[in-house]
Amino acid sequence: MTEDAKKASDAHERLLFNLSVVHFLLPAILFNTEILWLIVGLPMLISTGIILSIMRRAGKRTQPDLIYAHWLLAWRRGRYLLLAYLVSLALFGLGWFFLLLQADEVMRGIQLAVLGWFSLLPISLTIVILIILETASLAQARQGEMPRQITWWFKA
């Protein structure tokens, strides 16, 4: 693996670390705390920080095209995860608003549990899709290939 290929693969490795460790291992460890906002919120906060670090690195156009293209692709995919966070928060907020109209406290508790799991669905689906896409892009980066999804950007 060339030095450029190694630097290009760092982008996908960072995003895959985010997806696997921050979204699978960390919530599993925090599950013992039984504090729901911590189980969901802390991984989202750490993940946003990692994605912002990818964004900062993708903004450096002084790198060779191969490295720049892979960091740009990782940033674009990181934005999908941020969008999934927003969709999940919007679903939860909307559901929470409608739950305030529920008069029965027991029923509200049941509906809140269902709403919580349902609102995490966009994040879960996005993570699975991104793991598949990032694994393929990591293989491309390690072989020193330009990502097929973004080659149009570099054609003059």
- What pLDDT shows up at residue 156? 43
Q: What is the mean pLDDT of residues 131-154?
A: 85
Distances (CA, A) of 141 to 48, 84, 86, 135, 156: 23, 25, 29, 10, 22
| In the predicted structure, residue 30 carries a pLDDT above the cut 90 | no
Distances (CA, A) of 149 to 15, 66, 120, 133, 154: 17, 13, 28, 11, 11
- Asked, for residue 99, whether it belongs to a domain, the answer is no
pTM of the model: 0.86
| In the predicted structure, residue 5 carries a pLDDT above the cut 50 | yes
Of residues 61 and 54, the one with the higher pLDDT is: 54
Judge contact between 88 and 119, C-beta under 8 A: yes
- Asked, for residue 71, whether it belongs to a domain, the answer is yes
| In the predicted structure, residue 141 carries a pLDDT above the cut 70 | yes
- Asked, for residue 45, whether it belongs to a domain, the answer is yes
| In the predicted structure, residue 108 carries a pLDDT above the cut 90 | no
For the chain, what is the domain count? Answer: 1
State the alpha helices, DSSP H only, in the chain: 3-17, 26-30, 36-58, 65-99, 105-119, 121-142
Q: Using DSSP, state whether 34 is helix, strand or coil.
A: coil
- What pLDDT shows up at residue 10? 95
- Asked, for residue 15, whether it belongs to a domain, the answer is yes
Percent of the chain scoring above 70 in pLDDT: 95
